[in-house]
């Protein structure tokens, strides 16, 4: 098991982004950004193991939030922001993805999730840290958002891919928990993407960012604050 995967009682897919290196030799600071799965089953012992959290970014949709408890982090002082990962503004260019093709879905979701990605980055630039970002599995919506962040910070494509693929260790438990959540009874469409993880998915995100001219070009097109990328690098990376 990777040293970046740490046991937290009640979570199955959680890790600190700290320690990842950028192409120019800087390092993502430990204890700033933690990615994970839904804290629905997080215990008091797990809260202690996770450590103090300042901000929670919840990427789930409205149905998930309505039916599945968000867990105890707010009761322990975190400020939770519901940032649903979904379409805002004009429809993304191009045809919709093949519903059975995970790689094409992931590539499409980079633009489809632009509003949530941008909102998450703005919180990372200003909100109290550590920031815990999650969806339900901590795999798809979280994975795409984290991949965008890491690319913007200058982390290499292979390290972005390797970080995503760490979720493979938890996929069986992710599926079991997902099927046990109350929202699963309300929305029983068990999409194949939710049951699987494949390196081609995250490679499609990396390729989509490259085709768009990089994460910073995406931010400019999404009308992000012009200093956002630099503020994130100053806050989340060690000095050059």
CATH number of the domain residue 108 falls in: 3.90.190.10
Tell me if 2 is assigned to some domain.
no
Tell me if 7 is assigned to some domain.
no
Tell me if 10 is assigned to some domain.
no
Non-local (6+) Cβ contacts of 111 within 8 A are: 92, 93, 208
218 and 212 in contact (C-beta within 8 Å)? yes
Instruction: Provide the H-helix boundaries in 77-196.
Output: 102-112, 114-126, 141-153, 157-165, 171-180, 182-186
Q: What six digits make up the tokens of 150?
A: 């890491």
Tell me if 116 is assigned to some domain.
yes
Tell me if 8 is assigned to some domain.
no
Residue 30's domain spans which residues?
Answer: 15-86+95-181+193-236
pLDDT by residue, tens only, the chain of 240 residues: 345 777 899 999 999 999 999 999 999 999 999 999 999 999 999 999 999 999 999 999 999 999 999 999 999 999 999 999 986 655 566 667 777 789 999 999 999 999 999 999 999 999 999 999 999 999 999 999 999 999 999 999 999 999 999 999 999 999 999 999 999 888 766 666 777 899 999 999 999 999 999 999 999 999 999 999 999 999 999 997
Tell me if 36 is assigned to some domain.
yes
Number of folded domains that form the chain: 1
pTM value?
0.95
Tell me if 154 is assigned to some domain.
yes
Q: Is the peptide bond before 130 cis (omega within 30 degrees of 0)?
A: yes
Non-local (6+) Cβ contacts of 197 within 8 A are: 139, 164, 165, 167, 168, 171
Nearest C-alpha neighbor of 14 from the set 38, 30, 32: 38
Q: What six digits make up the tokens of 108?
A: 């499409």
């Amino acid at each position: 098991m990777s040293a970046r995967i740490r046991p937290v009682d009640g979570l199955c897919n959680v890790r600190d982004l700290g320690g990842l290196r950028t192409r120019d030799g800087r390092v993502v600071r430990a204890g700033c950004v933690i990615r994970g799965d839904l804290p629905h089953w997080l215990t008091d012992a797990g809260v202690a193991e996770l450590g103090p959290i300042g901000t929670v970014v919840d990427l789930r949709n409205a149905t998930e939030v309505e039916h599945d408890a968000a867990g105890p982090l707010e009761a322990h002082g975190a400020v939770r922001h519901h940032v649903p990962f979904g379409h805002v503004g004009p429809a993304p260019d191009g045809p919709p993805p093949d519903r059975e093709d995970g790689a094409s879905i992931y590539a499409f979701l980079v633009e489809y999730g632009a509003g949530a990605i941008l909102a998450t980055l703005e919180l990372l630039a200003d909100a109290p840290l550590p920031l815990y970002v999650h969806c339900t599995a901590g795999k798809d919506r979280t994975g795409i958002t984290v991949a965008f962040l890491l690319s913007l910070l200058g982390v290499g494509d292979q390290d972005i891919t390797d970080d995503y693929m760490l979720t493979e260790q938890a996929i069986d438990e992710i599926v079991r928990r997902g099927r046990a959540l109350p929202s699963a009874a309300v929305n029983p469409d068990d999409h194949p993407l939710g049951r699987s993880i494949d390196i081609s998915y995250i490679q499609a995100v990396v390729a989509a960012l490259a085709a768009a001219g990089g994460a910073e070009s995406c931010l400019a097109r999404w009308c992000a604050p012009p200093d956002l990328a630099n503020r994130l690098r100053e806050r989340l990376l060690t000095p050059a």
